[in-house]
């Protein structure tokens, strides 16, 4: 990391994340690692809601709000344009588990299959937390959500969590964690 960027905060204080929010800390650390030469694509979800309440933003780098389902497609287009222009900015998607495991999996598949040079980060909170804690493809078996409540009549979510790392690795991605 460049000396001048070590003290530089590119994710501003004053955002509206819950105290101790993991994605807010991850965003701050991500930007400390990438520096200013990055373009962030964020789908609709918790990160977008707490970090960019109109007309404000916590992002001190170029940031794009994509639709829930198409962050990877938007990032693919940005990456292709930057490559064509001979520019070196990195492109990073930051999306929740709903946008990753369910609604956006088609666009993610396309981006990974085509080999776009993007970084895709999923903050997996194991349900659609932004809209009321509904079950997602990331919800573990037996977990209680508003759409799969656990109780005397139900053990909770009856489906296993999707193995997204295996799905993405099957596309030949150079690195999946």
Three-state secondary structure readout of 52-92:
CCCCCCCECCCEEECCCCCHHHHHHHHHHHHHHHCCCCEEE
Q: Which two tokens stand for residue 104?
A: 């956006």
Sheet holding 119-123, edge to edge: 63-65, 38-42, 90-96, 119-123
Domains and CATH numbers, the chain: 3-169 (3.40.50.970)
pLDDT for 89 beyond 80: yes
CB-based contact 91:82 (threshold 8 Å): yes
Which segments of the chain does DSSP mark as H helices, in order? 22-34, 46-51, 71-85, 97, 105-114, 164-169
Predicted confidence at residue 1, as pLDDT, reads: 47
Q: How many CB atoms lie within 10 A of CB 9?
A: 12
**Residue 42 contacts by C-beta under 8 Å, 6 or more apart in sequence?**
48, 51, 52, 63, 64, 65, 66, 71, 93, 94, 95
Question: Tens digit of pLDDT for each residue in 91-133?
Answer: 999 999 999 999 999 999 999 999 999 999 999 999 998 889 9
pLDDT for 5 beyond 60: no
Measured distance CA(73)–CA(45) in Å, rounded? 17
pTM of the model: 0.91
Mean pLDDT of the 71-84 span: 99
């Amino acid at each position: 990391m460049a000396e001048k960027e070590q003290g530089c905060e590119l994710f501003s204080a004053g955002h509206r994340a819950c105290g101790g929010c993991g994605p807010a800390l991850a965003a701050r650390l991500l930007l400390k690692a990438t520096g200013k030469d990055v373009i962030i694509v964020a789908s609709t979800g918790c990160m977008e809601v707490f970090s960019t309440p109109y007309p404000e933003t916590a992002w001190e780098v170029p940031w794009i709000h994509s639709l829930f389902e198409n962050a990877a497609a938007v990032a693919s287009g940005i990456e292709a344009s930057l490559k064509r222009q001979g520019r070196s900015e990195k492109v990073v998607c930051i999306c929740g588990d709903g946008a990753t495991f369910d609604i956006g999996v088609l666009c993610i598949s396309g981006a990974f299959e085509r080999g776009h040079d993007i970084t895709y980060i999923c903050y997996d909170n194991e349900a659609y937390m932004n809209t009321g804690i509904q079950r997602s493809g990331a919800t573990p078996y037996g977990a209680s959500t508003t759409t799969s409540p656990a109780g005397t009549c139900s053990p909770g979510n009856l489906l296993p969590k999707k193995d997204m790392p295996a799905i993405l690795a099957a596309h030949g991605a150079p690195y999946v964690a």
